[in-house]
Amino acid sequence: MDLAAVRGILPRGGTILGTANRGNPFARKVIQAGREVVIDVSDEIIQAIAAMHLDAVIVIGGDGTLRIAMELFDKGVR
């Protein structure tokens, strides 16, 4: 991609990639028995990465995204 192809995307953030900052796999809010609870689904993310036979994950994002990526790295994700 050249400069013309990416001009103006910086303020759009992850929306240009079709992503959303709506989910932390270490603190996913779900409803259980009619109550909102926070659960850790990071192992499911790690299993999905393994199932796709990915060698590594390239992370593009802000502080929250990078923090989550570091926590996944700490659990073995390259």
Q: Is 68 exposed, middle or buried (0-12, 13-18, 19+ CB in 10 A)?
A: buried
For the chain, what is the mean pLDDT? Answer: 87
3-state helix, strand, coil in the chain (%, to 5): 45, 15, 45
Q: pLDDT by residue (tens digit) across 7-36?
A: 887 777 666 666 666 689 999 999 999 999
Q: pLDDT by residue (tens digit) across 45-57?
A: 999 999 999 999 9
What is the SS3 assignment for 21? coil
| Full residue range of the structural domain in which residue 8 is found | 3-74
**With a threshold of 0.75, does the pTM exceed it?**
no
What's residue 14's pLDDT? 63
